[in-house]
Structures are given as structure tokens and as C-alpha cells.
Amino acid sequence: MIYLDNAATTELCEEAREAMRPYLEEDYGNPSSIYLFAQRAKGAVEESRRKLSELMGVSPMELYFTGGGTESDNWALISGIESTGKRHIISSKIEHHAVLRSCAYLEKRGFSVTYLDVDERGRVEPAAVLEAIRDETGLISIMSANNEIGTIEPISEISEIAGERGILFHTDAVQAFGQLPLPLGKSRIDLLSASAHKIRGPKGVGLLYMRRGVKLPPYLHGGEQERGRRAGTENVAAIAGFAAAAERAFRTMKERGEKERRMRDYLIRRLTTEIPDCCLNGDPEERLPNNVNVCIRGVEAEPLLLLLDQRGIAASAGSACASGSLDPSHVILALGASREDAYGSLRLSLDERLSREDADRVVSEIKRIADYLRRE
């Protein structure tokens, strides 16, 4: 199989697997217990927090472990706006559903949300953020990089606008974490979400960065885990795997990113020049190094993906969280595309192991299938 859906999830790396093993086998104690056996598990949680904080350039006290990016986003938005005492949120039309559906939930509770348009590349303009701010604006949430089209957003600029006006700023960095340098030390980001399984860590664990001084109320209620901010027994093995995967991702980021960019650009060039009516979605330059998203006009993504799967190639049409929906991608529609074009969008998210030979095979199969579907 040629796996090209790394934006959905990634293969567990050996470093994460080895880091998890002791806490799946011999050191299985509950980290909240006081006896020595359990304290080994507690030590693993705190050492993982320390490793991640060093990679991110923040204090360990600013990191909270969660059940994944979705929980982190929900916590940031719902508890975030509640903590401000204000009633207005600014976000964008291309956010992940974890953000959009949190906003929709808040709207049902009487909060108001401004969903910003993006340009044809998928970029949120800082000027548009500034224009949308009201006296009642308490929270701004803009993703670091889009999960479907790969466009990198001007987060540092937007966070400055928020910070200068005393507005909480959150960014969903699930796709950017481990792929791009984080601007935490050079920006005014208050809240940041990340997830392990996008960087070859385990599923079911994430983190929420909460800048010192930001006081969010708990999102889950129960015990005193995570300094009383996030109840529930910690998933010790997954947390250890997260830290190990993050160490690998940050250590290899530069070299890995260069390899991915070369292969990404090679795929984009061949697909858009060799397939008639095939165009790139997203920003051609300011995009994730491993993201290819194209629209093949006159070809629906669903049969294309099924036929690719029969040929041993795993790809997607967009977010895995929306794969059961019959609606066209909200991200592609936000770029100004027609519904027909949105149905024909194909996402290839690769990693550094993709060879030129495999890329050539992928292009050949997509060309062959697209031609066949257009003739049907």
C-alpha cells in the first residue's frame, strides 16, 4: 500500500512504541496513587510534560494533557469564552469541525460568532479579523494550518491584533504541530491545541497549551488530575508515546520537511500539468510541506478514492472527521469553488518515506482513473 492520508492519521513510530511499552506492561499503576509503584507512572507523565514544554519553548505548567485535538479545541472555545464574561467569538469558515461545531453549540447558548471569509488561497486576512472585533469580542480562534488544503495562516499577526486588545487568542495547531516551527515565543498565542496521532504518536491523546495567566475553568469535572483543570485518569502510555513522537518530529523537522516539500511540489506539478482541468487548492507557497490538494473537474472524489484503494493507494477527499458526510467540503466551498468542484477535490498527505517511484505510480493511477471516470 502507498499511504497518502497522513493528515488523517500516521503510523506509530518506533520511538513512541518503545516509550509506551513499560506503561502498557509492568508500570501500569494509576499516577494519582501515592505508593512508589504508581509514582513511576506519575513520573512518566511529568517527564513527558517537561519534554514537550522544552520542544515548544514554554513552561511545563502551561501544558495540559487531553484526549486529543478535538477535546483541546472544545475546551479552549467553550471554557475560553465563558472565562471572559463576553459573548462574541471570531473564527473562520475553514476551521476544523471541532472548532466549528463548538461555535455552533455556543450559538445555541446565546453567544454570537463571526465566521470570517478567506481568500481564494484559503488565507484569513488579519485586516478582516481587526474589522470584525466588537466590544463584546472575548475570543478569536484561527487555525495554524488548514487540514484539507494545507494553507498556513498568519497566526503571529492575528495573535498580535488579539493581544493588543486584550482578547483571548486560540489556534488549532493539530496539523502544524511537528511540521512547522511554533511561534509561541514570538507571538501572543493564549491557547494552542495539538494531537499526537498526526506526528506518528498514538491516537487518543493531545494537549492544550494555556499561556501563564490564562485561567480557563475545567472542561471535564471529577478528580484533581492535571492540576485540577482536566479530570480523568491520565493515559500514561499514550502521553509517553506523545512526547517521544514529538521529540522525533521536532528533531527531524527541517530535513523531513525539505524531503516532503520536494515530493509535494513534484506531485503538484505533474498532476496539474498532465491532467486536463486539474488545479491546485490552497496557497502554492504558504502550505504544509506534506499537503497536496487538487480539484479534478468532472471527476467525483468518492469513486476516484475507491478505485485508488483497489490499486493499493490510500488517499482522501478532505477531513477524516467528515468522511461520513455527503456534503461537499466546507473548506473548498469557502475558497469560492462550485459544489461540483468541491466534490472533485482530492487530498494527498504524504510523509518523508514516499519515493519518487511511488509518486510516479500514484500520478499514473490518478491519470488513468480520472480518464476512465470522465468517459463513464
Q: Which residues are catalytic?
A: 321
If one counts every other C-beta atom within 10 angstroms of the C-beta of residue 294, the result is 21
Alpha carbons 257 and 251: distance in angstroms, whole number: 11
DSSP designation for 60: G
Return the amino acid letter for 204.
G
Residues 6+ positions from 75 with CB-CB distance below 8 Å = 66, 208, 216, 219, 230
Residue reference for cell 499503576? 29
Residue 27: which of 296, 307, 236 has the closest Cα? 236
Sheet with 137-141: strands ordered across: 63-66, 206-210, 191-195, 168-172, 137-141, 88-92, 112-116
Alpha-carbon torsion angle 227, 229, 232, 237, nearest 10:
-60
Residue 347 DSSP SS3: strand
Alpha carbons 168 and 186: distance in angstroms, whole number: 16
Characterize the bridge pairing of strands 206-210 and 191-195.
antiparallel
Residue reference for cell 513552561? 59
Helices (H), 25-93: 36-56, 69-74, 80-84
Strand partners, 168: 139
Q: What would you measure as the largest C-alpha separation in the chain, in angstroms?
A: 69
Alpha carbons 178 and 252: distance in angstroms, whole number: 9
